[in-house]
Structure 1
Amino acid sequence: MKTISSVVEHYIKTKPFLLSALSQGIINLTSLARNMMPELEQELGKDVKQGAIVMALKRLSEDLDFRLNHRILKVLKNLGEITVRSSLTDYTFAVSDTILDKQADLISEINSYQDIFYTSSRGVNETNIVVSDVVSHLVLKHFSNERLFQKQDKLASITVKLPKDNVSVPGVYYYIFQRLAWEGISINEVISTSNEFTVLVSEEEVDLAFKVIKDLKSL
């Protein structure tokens, strides 16, 4: 049986930015309830009092404050080293029978270079390679016969070390990416391991992105 509380919670959870704003207590609950009424009444099939919606929102916001913030903020306050690298190029190739051999050849050759950035990831249909501009010519050399979907240059990476308990706390990545989105920062790529993640952004936005992530430690 649907209740006002359950319908209100479902409504809020389907709107991520509203969910975060509610958990931070920066929304006028009366105004929000008024806007929600038509949809909630349609969902429940009956008239709903605005006061009942406000009370459901208040209870939900108090619950969200605990569930969303306390555990997540504990992780964010323990963020480790933040490393920034610039002058990167991002290549996206189609997966092929020869792509792994080409990657092996590339890695073998770039091993002779000092202090360069290299990372790769593979999806079902695409392989992604990110390298320092200084070795971009080697990517073009070894992958000349591969199908190139996309190339993006003038990128920078921000790599963040996460505390080990991040994997058991839901919402950590969501919270970080939400803050970046609020600042209008476009993320070109996300690369992660168990306890660190890297985002690629344009060089024009890297200073702001770094500040946003660094400021998370002082929330």
Structure 2
Amino acid sequence: MITVSNAVDQIIKKKSFLEEAINSGIINLSALARQILPEVRKETFKEVREGAVLMALKRRPKTLASKFQVDSVLEKNHDLILRSNLLEFTILNSSFSPEKHKKIIEAVENQNRNFLTITQGIFETTIIVSRELKDKVKAILEREKIIYQPDHLSSITIRLPEKNVLTPGVYYTILKFLAWEGINVVEVVSTFSELTIILESQEISRAFSILKNALS
């Protein structure tokens, strides 16, 4: 049988923002206990009292260890690289051949300053390129099934230390800064020590300022 403490812990862990607010001491625990009481009763199959939920909230250990690990990754100033005038093609994988992949890379290699990311998933492939390559890439993809083609995109690339791949919560912490300000992330592309965030161009100045302040 699940205990009240276990039920409360599971409910809070499902809501990352909520857990962080509790750890920071910026949330009213009494109000939170009232809010999650029905869910606790459902999980425990008991007529749990509000006071028991409040006590369980107060006794929860703060998850500070992972926060310290994330802080150690993000503690130094990070280079933020801004790119504008980007666009995206998302196509079905059914007919996207390695030859077309190669042609797109070759088109960018001849223009050193241009931007390119290609992410191939199980069912679809997303290509993000500089706007000036639009016609070339569109010609290469002429017979492809384009399922999504947003325009007016920009990107912010963040260089991270190598230990970021072993540290839980690094990407969450970075993206959280944008989510809290209501900024929508169109795509996220990562390599070993780089995180590239694709945004609508109208949001890029505000997003850059937020991340610059948060990561400095």
With the length of structure 2 as denominator, give the TM-score of the two structures: 0.91
Post-superposition Cα deviations, 1:4-34, rounded to whole Å, max 9, x if no partner, equal 2211100111223212221221101111112
Query: What secondary structure, in the 3-state scheme, does the structure 1 residue paired with 2:104 have?
Result: helix
Q: Which residue of 194, 197, 208 maps to 2:195? A: 197
What fraction of aligned residue pairs are identical, expressed as a percent?
Answer: 38
- Kindly provide the CA deviation profile for residues 149-206 of structure 1, in whole angstroms up to 9, marking residues without a partner as x: 1111110000011111111111111222222111111111111012111010011001
Amino acid at match of 2:196: T
In structure 1, what is the equivalent of residue 69 of structure 2? 71
Does the CA contact (< 8 Å) of 1:5 and 1:56 recur in 2? yes
State the shift of 1:68 in Å. Answer: 4.2
Aligned equivalent of 1:46: 46
Query: Which residues in structure 2 correspond to 1:1-219 (within 5 Å)?
Result: 1-60=1-60, 62-64=61-63, 66-78=64-76, 80-218=78-216
Change (3 A) 1:166 1:59: farther
Partners of 1:49 and 1:96 lie apart in 2 by: 56
1:123 positional shift: 0.5
Letter in 2 for 1:176: I
Question: Are 2:5 and 2:56, in contact at CA under 8 Å, matched by a contact in 1?
Answer: yes
Contact 2:81–2:158 under 8 Å retained in 1: yes
Unaligned runs of 5+ in 1: none
Q: Give the Cα–Cα distance (whole angstroms) in 1 for the partners of residues 140 and 57 of structure 2.
A: 57
Q: Contact 2:92 / 2:125 at 8 angstroms: preserved in 1?
A: yes
Mapped to 1, the partners of 2:150 and 2:45 lie a distance apart of 51
3-state SS of 1:87 partner: strand
Measure, in 1, the Cα distance between the counterparts of 2:34 and 2:96: 59
What is the CA–CA distance in structure 1 between the aligned matches of 2:96 and 2:45, rounded to whole Å?
A: 59
Distance 1:96 1:36, change over 3 A: closer
Is the CA contact (8 Å cut-off) linking 1:120 and 1:127 kept in structure 2? Answer: yes
For 2:86, the aligned partner's letter is L
Cα distance between partner residues in 2 of 1:153 and 1:71: 37
2:87·2:129 contact (CA, 8 Å) conserved in 1?
A: yes
Ranges in structure 2 where 5+ consecutive residues have no aligned partner: none
- 1:90 Cα offset (Å): 0.8
SS at match of 1:85: strand
TM score, norm. by length of structure 1: 0.90
Give the Cα–Cα distance (whole angstroms) in 1 for the partners of residues 56 and 72 of structure 2: 27
The alpha-carbon distance between structure 1 residues 56 and 107, as it changes in their structure 2 partners (threshold 3 A), is same
Aligned residue pair count: 216
* CA shift digits 1:90-123 (9 cap, x unpaired): 1111113443211212222332223111111101
